[in-house]
Amino acid sequence: MTDKTYNGWTNYATWRVHLEIFDSLPLEDFSDADDVYALAEACQERAEYYVECSSEPGLARDYALAFMSDVNWREIAQHMLEEYAA
């Protein structure tokens, strides 16, 4: 079995989406998310919305959204909560 972790994250997709989209966002932007599951869902919705708003319909958008299906949204949410608590 091959180890698919990347830089301490579940996989490359999770690391990359966190780095590119969420690394510098303040947790206050997600004030309606009251637990890790709600925050994970809010992160996924925001990332998908960002892709849809910043790209034209077609192959590139489809690939970007498919790439995000590999993201561990709960891991990103947990990391954001831990960073905020620190």
Domains contained in the chain, number: 1
DSSP secondary structure of 10-43 = SSHHHHHHIIIIITT--GGGGTT--SHHHHHHHH
Q: How many beta carbons lie within 10 A of that of residue 27, not counting itself?
A: 15
7 domain-assigned? no
Per-residue pLDDT tens over the stretch 3-34 = 789 999 999 999 999 999 999 888 888 887 77
pLDDT at position 77: 95
Query: Is the residue at 39 inside a domain?
Result: yes
Q: What is the reported pTM?
A: 0.88
The verdict on residue 6 lying in a domain is no
How confident is the model over 40-55, as a mean pLDDT?
96
User: pLDDT tens-digit profile of 55-71?
Assistant: 999 999 999 999 999 99
